[in-house]
Amino acid sequence: MAHQRWAKRKGTVAERDLISLFWDNDWSAHRIAGSGSSRYPSPDIIAGTPLRKLAIEVKITKESRKYFTAEEIDGLRFFCEIFGSEAWVAVKFPKVPWYFFSLEDLKPTGKNFAISTDDISIKGLLFEELIK
């Protein structure tokens, strides 16, 4: 139970870090509290300008690969279709800045999806590239 609280707190801190990045760059952004426990699909963060809306699933990991459940990705895709936003996954790997991936960049692994540090230079966008 203590590990789950620590992981949840780590995720919350990561989400707040991204919120600050968006606001510091003249984007509006909001963290969706309890996004993983709602019965409705919802991203971790929504961010936007008058011209763009983003819905973002946020992950932080100590590993070189991060997995996403099909349910997480399907929920994000569904939310974005209804909300009219772009779907993105933000991953913070060890010793590198935030990277953002489109859902098409994720590799199917059977029932789930994955992204790794090997993918960041090929498919990932840095924050500055994402908000252009």
Active-site annotation, residues: 35
The total of other beta-carbon atoms located within 10 Å of residue 83's CB is: 15
For the purposes of burial, counting CB atoms within 10 Å of the CB of 111, is it exposed (0-12), middle (13-18) or buried (19 or more)?
A: exposed
Q: Mind giving me the DSSP string for 34-60?
A: TTTT-SS---SEEEE-SS-EEEEEEEE
Structure tokens of 132? 């252009």
Q: Which residues, including other chains, have CB under 8 Å from residue 30's CB and lie 6 or more apart?
A: 19, 45, 46, 47
3-class secondary structure, 30:
strand
